[in-house]
Amino acid sequence: MKLSDLMQKELVLLDLSSEKKEDAVKELISPIIKKGLALSEETLSKAILDREARGSTAIGNGVAIPHAETSSIKEKIIVFGRSKKGINFDAVDNNPVHLFFMIISPSREICPHLKTLARISRLLKNKAFRDDLMSAKSSEDIIKLIAIEENPPAERRKYPRYAVDEAVELRLQKDSEKHLVVYYGYTKDISLGGICITLPKHEDTNDSRIKEDIKLQIRIPVLDVKKYLELDGQIVWILQRKKDYNIGIQFISNDKEAETALSRFIDEVKTSS
């Protein structure tokens, strides 16, 4: 079962107020009790803090994965917490913790429990993913981000992606009219199968035309390909953040010339990175 399938929006805390480890643990446990998934805050708190006494679960890079197994619950519970100012959690790198994934598993679930820990740890090694978690606006966005990261589009699995920062245009056909609607942003990464683009949030982009499954043209200024590298694509996911949108686009129906130009562009990106 995927992490995103285990998560509930009521168990996502976007603004932890605690400053100390013990208080943070209680704050993370509070929605479990409120939702009626466990009866005793004291039992869960003791289980988590007993595990912390054997070694901090703050693994560095502003991340902690407090966890425990207890007979007081029947199904695995995951609580996400975020602290903008950071909490002292005795991290291995001595830095405050901003992102928490608390895992509470039923007793005797050793193997699945360890697999969940490993999966979260692996996902959180990605700095871009951690940054996105820090800037997400809602509980739903947190869960969506996790789902995208652990179950990326097929093209993302098939083709390696490369970080690239270039100006970009998105061109959409306006409904019932002949002229195009143009949005301006910049690229985050690119592959032979697709591209991730960030669009600054302003009045023009707060628009119902920017939505999943919409087909569009991507134009990247590249001097050796006439004036632009022009590619057709389709939006496969959108993540709204505080100041911008991250948009995942899969390339579709491009001719051989465009595919060759894209391949050459990616080769240049690889060389310069």
Measured between alpha carbons, how far is 49 from 66 in angstroms, rounded to an integer?
A: 8
Other Cβ atoms within 10 Å of 255 Cβ, number: 9
What domains are defined for the chain? 3-150 (3.40.930.10), 154-272 (2.40.10.220)
Model pLDDT, residue 143:
92
Residue 61: which region, alpha, beta or left (left: phi > 0; alpha: psi -120 to 50)?
left
Model pLDDT, residue 52:
92
206: helix, coil or strand?
Answer: coil
Model pLDDT, residue 243:
77
Measured between alpha carbons, how far is 243 from 257 in angstroms, rounded to an integer?
A: 36
67 is annotated as an active-site residue:
yes
Q: How long, in residues, is the chain?
A: 273
Model pLDDT, residue 107:
78
**Phi then psi for 86, rounded to 5 degrees?**
95, 150
Enclosing H/E stretch for 118: helix 110-123
Tally the C-alpha atoms within 13 A of residue 224's C-alpha that lie toward its C-beta. 7
Radius of gyration of the chain (CA): 22
Marked catalytic residue, from 67, 98, 113, 179: 67
**Are the C-beta atoms of residues 206 and 158 closer than 8 Å to each other?**
no
| pLDDT tens per residue across all 273 residues of the chain | 688 888 999 999 999 999 999 999 999 999 999 999 988 889 999 999 999 999 999 999 999 999 988 888 888 899 999 999 999 999 989 999 999 999 998 877 656 667 888 888 888 888 888 988 998 888 998 998 898 888 766 666 678 888 888 899 998 865 555 567 888 899 988 999 999 999 887 655 555 667 888 889 999 987 555 678 889 999 988 887 777 888 989 998 778 888 888 898 888 888 776
Other Cβ atoms within 10 Å of 124 Cβ, number: 21
